[in-house]
Amino acid sequence: MTNHDDPLTFWDSLYSGRPTVTDPRPNARLVELATDFEPVDALDLGCGSGGDALWLARQGWQVTATDISPVAVQRLAELAGSLGLPITAVQHDLAHSFPAGQFDLVSAHYFQTPFDLDRSAVLRSAASALRPGGRLLVVDHGSSAPWSWNQDPEARFPGPLEIAAGLDLDPQIWTVERADSPRRTATGPGGQTAEVIDHVLVIRRSRP
């Protein structure tokens, strides 16, 4: 499926092959979902170029941002430092390690990979890292955009309720607040547009 044998090499090569982005855009669903949340501590899983982490920091969040790619992490750390924003960028292969700490928001936007990954286990760790009242935001691709790295015609996009069921979280502790599949017009890196589907899942931790 890829030109590389391991995920770190794949993602590092992807970011190394792109110019450094000095003003990356946040994901539209994050802005829609998190604008009214009280900003405290946030974790951005798979931060990439850092658009989500930078937006959260500008809203007043203390942000921990993690990615498997050292190139992505270093670029975000340097950009956040130059802007004076409260972002701690850390490199993790989430298949093997998870950032320490407790958070009021964990954002997993388009946290999808062409490699084998027990994603449910990672998202369960994310849910467990929430403080009471905190939310896990999972936004997945529900369709393939023309500019996506995944152009597999056999690709399957599990819906939000299926994703929630796979996490097998205790309903006495975690509550599904939103699970739907809205459409939007997305803009690709070259300025092209296309209608895409997002699978949106919001889970809130109600108690310890």
pLDDT band for position 4 (cuts 50, 70, 90): low
pLDDT score for 17: 86
Q: Angle at CA 124, nearest 5°, toward 122 and 129? A: 95
In angstroms, the CA 114 to CA 53 distance is 23
Mean pLDDT for 148-171 is: 85
What backbone phi and psi angles, to 5 degrees, belong to 199?
-100, 115
Is the confidence at residue 200, as pLDDT, over 60?
Answer: yes
**pLDDT at residue number 146:** 65
Looking at every residue in the chain, the average pLDDT score rounds to 91
* pLDDT-derived band at 156, boundaries 50, 70, 90: confident
Domains in the chain, CATH or no CATH each = 1-15+22-62+69-99 (3.40.50.150), 118-130+165-176+194-208 (no CATH)
Element counts in the chain: helices (H) and strands (E): 6, 8
pLDDT at position 112: 80
> Residue 38 pLDDT > 90, yes or no?
yes
pLDDT beyond 80 at 155 = no
**Mean pLDDT value of segment 118-125:** 96
Checking if the pLDDT of 147 tops 70, the result is no
pLDDT band at 141 (very low <50, low <70, confident <90, very high): confident
How, if at all, do strands 193-205 and 183-187 pair?
A: antiparallel
> Rounded distance, CA 187 to CA 173, Å?
37
